[in-house]
Amino acid sequence: MNFEKSCGIVPLYFMSNEPFVVLVKQNNGDIGFPKGHVEGNETELETASRECKEEVDLSPRIIDGFREEISYHMSEFDTYKTVVFFIGVVDDLSYRRQESEISDILLVPFAEAMKTLTYDDTRRVLAKVKEFYENNKIKFN
């Protein structure tokens, strides 16, 4: 069995103090968060930030104190994958997609994002983001 590690960001954008989520639709049709493989000696945060920049050309500010990990088995590759997510806040929505991997970028209200995500594990990550946001009374603007 192979093992892989990826890192990503749940990018949030605020309009009228309401949170919106930036989602990516991959070329295979899956909808999730910007993420990708750790390269070289990168830290998790460096990987997450680089991937967000590469996939959607955004550089969100990372919010301290949130780190959520999911793991799953990709049977077609006999690979066990771990993905670590952070929360990032976007101030500028001048996004541009990485055409080789991303077919669309979606900006959706927080509640709609939960219905839009393809996988249950990424919905669980978004639920943890909501819980973190509410419990910490964070002002992102």
* Helices H / strands E in the chain, number of each: 3, 8
At residue 126, the pLDDT reads: 96
At residue 50, the pLDDT reads: 97
Whether domain 2-136 has CATH 3.30.200.20: the reply is no
Report whether 22 contacts 11 (CB < 8 A).
yes
pLDDT band at 133 (very low <50, low <70, confident <90, very high): confident
pLDDT tens track for 46-103: 999 999 999 999 999 999 999 999 999 988 889 899 999 999 999 888 888 998 899 9
